Chains A and B, each alone.
Chain A
Amino acid sequence: MYRTHILVCGGTGCHSNNSGKIREAFEQQIKEKNLQDDVLVVGTGCFGLCAVGPIIIIYPEGAFYSGIKVEDVPEIIEEHIIKGRLVDRLLYHEKALGNKTVKSLSDTNFYKKQTRVALRNCGVINPEVIDEYIARDGYQALIKCLTELDPQQVIDIVKASGLRGRGGAGFPTGVKWQFAKNQNNDTKYVCCNADEGDPGAFMDRSVLEGDPHAVLEAMTIAGYAIGSHQGYIYVRAEYPIAVERLKIAIAQSREYGLLGDNILGTGFAFDIELKLGSGAFVCGEETALMTSIEGHRGEPRPRPPFPAVKGLFAKPTILNNVETYANITQIILNGPEWFAAMGTERSKGTKVFALGGKIVNTGLVEIPMGTTLREIIEDIGGGIPNDKKFKAAQTGGPSGGCIPAEHLDIPIDYDNLISIGSMMGSGGMIVMDEDNCMVDIAKFFLEFTVDESCGKCTPCRIGNRRLLEYLDKITSGKATMQDLDDMEQLCYYIKSNSLCGLGQTAPNPVLSTLRYFRDEYEAHIKEHRCPAHVCKKLIQFKITDKCIGCSACSRKCPVNAITGEIKKKFDINQEKCVKCGQCIATCKFGAIIKE
C-alpha cells in the first residue's frame, strides 16, 4: 500500500516542458532508494495552471510544486519524501505558508472560485488506468442507466438538467437526443466532436488527456438513450497525447466489457471508433465533420435535413462536443436538480475556459455560468502582467467577438454574450491589453478564416478575402471612410449568405471590434496612426535626444538602418528600417521610441 502519491502533470502544456522526463526521474530514483512500495508516481491530466508548469503535487500533504526541472527531483525525494520537509523554494508561491503547513489547493486564488465538473478528474487520476477512473465513481452512471432507467428516463434527466451544447451554439442537449430517439431506424450513430480548432482553445484536449473514460461512458449512455450501437470520436491528429490516451481507454473498456456486444452482461451493445482529422477548421462544423468521417473531403452541406434525422451515412445521428459529454455522467449520478442549481436562468452548470493572452495565470479554468468576466480575469487569472491596462477579452475564437472593459461585470452565459456581440464559443478566452491593436486582432482572426474556408460557397470563399483586403488597406493607412462603410455592409452580406457556421460567423471579429473600437479604425484611416503602435506600416522608430551614441542599436540592427558617430546622436534610415523592434530592446537608455 502506498503512503505517498506523487502526481506529475502529463497534459500537453507540462509535457512540452519536459514533465515526461521528470516522471521518469521520479520513478527511477524512487526505485534506487528502495521506496517503490511506499511511493506511487502518477502521471495525470492537466491541473489547469499551465502558466507555472511543470506542476507536481505530493499527497497526503497536498504540496503543490511549480516550475519543476529534472534537476530538482533528487532534492524533492531527499527532503520531502524521505525527511518529510517541504522544499520551500519550489512550492507554488501562494502555497508556501510557513514551514509545516500548506494551504489546501482549493484555497488558492486560482482554484477558489472554480467549480470542477467536466474537469473533476483532470489532475486527480491517472488517465491511463481505468481502475482509478472507476474509483472516482466511473461507470456508475452507465450502470445506473442500464439497470435502473429506461432510455426515455435518461433523456428526461438530461433535458431537466438544462445542459446546453458546449461546442458553442448552445443547443439543448436533451432536445437533440430526443429528436434522434424519435427517429424510427435500426441504425443510428453517436458522434463526439473533438475537432477543437479555435486558436487558443484547449479545453477539449485537456478533458481527453485527463479523463478519456468520462467521454466514452457518456457516449455509451447516449447510445443507450437514442438506440444506437456505434459511436465515433472525431479527434484531430495534432493532439497526439489525447489520441494515445483515447486508444488506451478504448482498449481497456473493451477488455472490461464496458464496450462491446454485451456490456456488463446487460445485453446492450455499443462500440466506439476513433477517426483522426487532419486539422481543417471547417471539420469542426457538424455536417462537414460527418462528411469527413464518411471518408469524403470535409465540406459542409445545407441543413435541414438535420443530423438527428439524416446525419452520418444518412442515418439519424447525434453529435456532441467533448465537454458536453464530460458533464453527462455527473448529471446522471447527482441528478438534474444538482446541475440546474448551478448557473443562470437559461444557462445551467459550468463552463471551461482556456485563458490565454495577456494574463498572469494562463491555463484552464472551470467556472459556474454567471461568473463575471472580471472575476475570471482579475481573481482567477491574476490580472494583466506588467501593470498594463485591460483592453478587451476575445471569446468564441474566429466566430466570436471582443468584450471591452465596460462589460467586465456582465455575468457570463450564452445569451448575455450574444447580446454584447460576442459568443460563448467552445471556450477560448484571449485577454488583450493596451498594447494590442484591435484592427490587427480582427485581421488576425480573418486571416485564419480565409485560410480555413473550405471554398464550397462563394460568400465565404470570396467575401472573406475581400474583407481581409479592406483590413489590409486600413492597417496600411490607405483606406477611406467610404471603405469602412462598404466593409461593414460586406460583413452583413457574408453573415446572411454563407452556407455553414464558419462563414456565417467569420465577420464577427470585425463587427464586434467595429462596435466597440471604431475610434481605432478611424485613427488608422483619418490620421494614418495606429494607437497601439502595432501596425508596422503606420509606425516609425525614432531616436530621441536621450541617445548617448553608444552604437549598441546600430550593431544589433539586422538591416544596418541605424548609423551615426560615436558619442553623438544616431539616426534611423526609415526606408531601410523593417520595424523589427530589436533596437528598442537593445537600448539601455530608453532613447528609441515608436510613434
Chain B
Amino acid sequence: MKSIADINEIRAKMQAQICLRDNSDMEKEIHIIVGMGTCGLNAGARTVFNALVDEVETKNIKGVLVTRTGCMGNCADEPVVEVHVPGKETVKYTKVNAEKAVEIINNLVKA
C-alpha cells in the first residue's frame, strides 16, 4: 500500500518522463537539433545526442527540446549541433563531442 507521500513521489518522477508529450508551447522553446544522418552517426552523433539529453535532464532545465535531424550538409564537420533560441540568431556548432555538448548546455543556462 502506498502513502500520500509515495503517490507524490511517483508523480514527480513520472512527470519528468511524460512532459515530453506536451509540445503545446513549442514556439517558446529552445530547440537543439543534432545532425544524425549516416555521416553524423558515424562521427559519434548518438553520444552527443545522449549527452545533451542527459545534461538537460540532470540540470532539470525546462523549455529545451532536443531532437534529431538528417544530414545538415557539413559532413566533414560532423557531429553538428544547431541551437535555436527564440529571438536570437541560430548557432551551429561543429565537431561536437560529449564534453562540448555539456558546455553548450552550460552556456545556454548562463545566457
Q: Which residues of B contact A85 (CB under 8 A)?
A: 69-70
Report if B62 contacts A (CB, 8 A): no
Report if A131 contacts B (CB, 8 A): yes
Question: Does the CB pair A61–B11 fall under 8 Å?
Answer: no
Question: Does the CB pair A59–B2 fall under 8 Å?
Answer: no
Question: Does the CB pair A84–B11 fall under 8 Å?
Answer: no
Residue on A with the closest CB to B65?
Answer: A60
Which A119-161 residues have a C-beta within 8 angstroms of B? Answer: 124-125, 131-132, 134-140, 143, 147
Name the segment of A256-264, A408-416, A497-505, A532-540 touching the other chain.
Answer: A256-264
Shortest Cβ distance from residue B109 to the other chain A in the assembled complex, whole angstroms: 19
Report if B77 contacts A (CB, 8 A): no
Report if B111 contacts A (CB, 8 A): no
The complex places the Cα of A61 from the Cα of B32 at a distance, in Å, of 12
Shortest Cβ distance from residue B33 to the other chain A in the assembled complex, whole angstroms: 8
Question: Does the CB pair A84–B21 fall under 8 Å?
Answer: no
User: If A2-B20, A62-B26, A134-B10 touch, does A147 touch B4 (CB 8 Å cutoff)?
Assistant: yes
Report if A7 contacts B (CB, 8 A): yes
Question: Does the CB pair B11–A137 fall under 8 Å?
Answer: yes
**What range describes how many residues of A lie at the interface?**
35 or more
Question: Does the CB pair B36–A82 fall under 8 Å?
Answer: yes
Q: How many interface contacts (CB-CB < 8 Å) are there between A and B?
A: 91
Interface string of B11-44 (1 = CB under 8 A from A): 1011101101101101000000110110001000
Question: Does the CB pair A256–B20 fall under 8 Å?
Answer: no
Query: Which of A84, A105, A132, A136 lies at the interface centre, i.e. has the most chain B CB atoms within 10 A of its CB?
Result: A84
Residue on B with the closest CB to A61?
Answer: B67
Q: Which residues of B contact A100 (CB under 8 A)?
A: 69
The complex places the Cα of A1 from the Cα of B49 at a distance, in Å, of 13
Shortest Cβ distance from residue A115 to the other chain B in the assembled complex, whole angstroms: 13
Report if A295 contacts B (CB, 8 A): no
Question: Does the CB pair A135–B3 fall under 8 Å?
Answer: no
Question: Does the CB pair B23–A2 fall under 8 Å?
Answer: no
User: If A264-B4, A265-B3 touch, does A84 touch B18 (CB 8 Å cutoff)?
Assistant: no
Q: Which residues of A contact B69 (CB under 8 A)?
A: 83-85, 100
Shortest Cβ distance from residue B98 to the other chain A in the assembled complex, whole angstroms: 15
Interface string of A55-92 (1 = CB under 8 A from B): 00001111000000000000000000011110000000
Question: Does the CB pair A1–B68 fall under 8 Å?
Answer: no
Q: Which residues of B contact A2 (CB under 8 A)?
A: 17, 20
Query: Which of B1, B33, B37 lies at the interface centre, i.e. has the most chain A CB atoms within 10 A of its CB?
Result: B1
Question: Does the CB pair B66–A3 fall under 8 Å?
Answer: yes
Shortest Cβ distance from residue B71 to the other chain A in the assembled complex, whole angstroms: 8
Question: Does the CB pair A135–B15 fall under 8 Å?
Answer: yes
Report if A5 contacts B (CB, 8 A): yes
Residue on B with the closest CB to A135?
Answer: B14
The complex places the Cα of A143 from the Cα of B53 at a distance, in Å, of 33
Shortest Cβ distance from residue B58 to the other chain A in the assembled complex, whole angstroms: 10
The complex places the Cα of A136 from the Cα of B19 at a distance, in Å, of 9
Residue on B with the closest CB to A146?
Answer: B4
Q: Which residues of B contact A82 (CB under 8 A)?
A: 36, 41, 68
Q: Which residues of B contact A264 (CB under 8 A)?
A: 2-4, 7
Q: Which residues of A contact B66 (CB under 8 A)?
A: 3, 60
The one of A104, A132, A135, A260 in contact with B23, judged by C-beta atoms closer than 8 angstroms, is: A104
Shortest Cβ distance from residue B30 to the other chain A in the assembled complex, whole angstroms: 12
Question: Does the CB pair B26–A104 fall under 8 Å?
Answer: yes
The complex places the Cα of A105 from the Cα of B54 at a distance, in Å, of 27
Question: Does the CB pair A59–B17 fall under 8 Å?
Answer: no
Report if A185 contacts B (CB, 8 A): no
User: If A3-B53, A84-B36 touch, does A257 touch B67 (CB 8 Å cutoff)?
Assistant: no
Which A1-38 residues have a C-beta within 8 angstroms of B? Answer: 1-5, 7
Q: Which residues of B contact A143 (CB under 8 A)?
A: 4, 7
Residue on A with the closest CB to B68?
Answer: A84
The complex places the Cα of A294 from the Cα of B54 at a distance, in Å, of 56
Report if A458 contacts B (CB, 8 A): no
Shortest Cβ distance from residue B31 to the other chain A in the assembled complex, whole angstroms: 10
Report if A106 contacts B (CB, 8 A): yes
Question: Does the CB pair B23–A134 fall under 8 Å?
Answer: no
- Can you offer 27 A-B residue contacts whose CB atoms are under 8 A? A2-B17, A3-B49, A3-B50, A59-B20, A59-B21, A60-B65, A60-B66, A61-B67, A62-B26, A83-B37, A83-B68, A83-B69, A84-B34, A84-B67, A84-B69, A105-B23, A106-B24, A124-B18, A131-B13, A131-B14, A134-B7, A135-B17, A135-B18, A136-B18, A256-B2, A256-B7, A257-B1
Known pairs A124-B21, A132-B18. 6 more at Cβ < 8 A?
A3-B66, A4-B20, A5-B20, A7-B21, A84-B68, A100-B69
